[in-house]
Amino acid sequence: MIKSTPQLAEDRRALQGVLLLLVSLGVFFFGSLLLYAIYVMLRIAPEVGEIIPFYLPRGFILTTAILVAISILLHLSVSAIREERRTDFLRYIVLAFVLSLVFFGTQGSGLFWMIGQLLQPHPTMVNLYGFTMFLIVVHALHVIGGVAGLVFVMFGIHRKTYDHERHFPVRFCALYWHFLDVVWVVMLICFGLAAYVTKAT
C-alpha cells in the first residue's frame, strides 16, 4: 500500500476554486428551495381554494439510492488511485458511469409521471408539480455536468494520466457528485414536506 503524499501546490489552488464553485452552487440551490417553500405556502393559503394533493413518484427513492451508490463508488475510486489499485479504480469509475446513465432513465420516468399529473385538467390548476419539476430538471442538468466529469476521468484513465500523486480530476469529480447527492436529498426532503402539507390541509 502506498502512503498518501502531500497535496500538490497546484491541486491546493484548484481545490480552492472547486470549493468556491460548490459554495456558489449551494447558495443557488438554497435560494431556490427557499423560493419553493414560499411558493408552497402561497399555494396552500386558505384564500387559494381547493388544494390538489401533491405526490412524488416512488421511483425517486431509487434515484436517491443510485446517487448515494455513485458517491460511494467515487469515494472508493479516490482511495483506489491513491493506493495505485488501478483495476479497482477503473472498475469503480465504470460502475459509477453506468449508474449515472441508469439515473437518467429512472429520473426521466418520474418526470414523465409528474408531467401527466401536471397536465390533468382541473378548474384551478393550483398544484405544485410545475415548480417541483423545474427544480428537478435544474438538478438533472447539473448531473449532466457530473457525467461529463466521469467521461473526462475515463479519458484520463485511457491516457494513464492518474497515479497516487496526480489525481485531482478524480477528486474533483467525487466532490461534485457528493455535492449533487446532498442537494438531491435536501430537495427530496423539501418535496416530501410539501406533499405532506398538501394532504394535511
Q: Give the pTM.
A: 0.86
**Residue 66's pLDDT is what?**
96
Domains annotated on the chain, with CATH:
11-200 (1.20.120.80)
- DSSP for 81-142, please give it: HHTT-HHHHHHHHHHHHHHHHHHHHHHHHHHHHHHHHHTS--SS---SHHHHHHHHHHHHHH
Distance, in Å, from the CA atom of 143 to the CA atom of 150, rounded to the nearest integer, reads 11
pLDDT surpassing 50 at residue 4: no
Mean of pLDDT values over 47-74: 86
C-beta separation of 107 from 139 below 8 A: no
**Distances from the Cα of 47 to the Cαs of 6, 41, 43, 118, 126, in angstroms?**
61, 11, 9, 21, 12
Q: Is the pLDDT of residue 2 over 50?
A: no
Residue of higher predicted confidence among 200 and 55 = 55
Q: How confident is the model at residue 195 (pLDDT cuts 50, 70, 90)?
A: confident
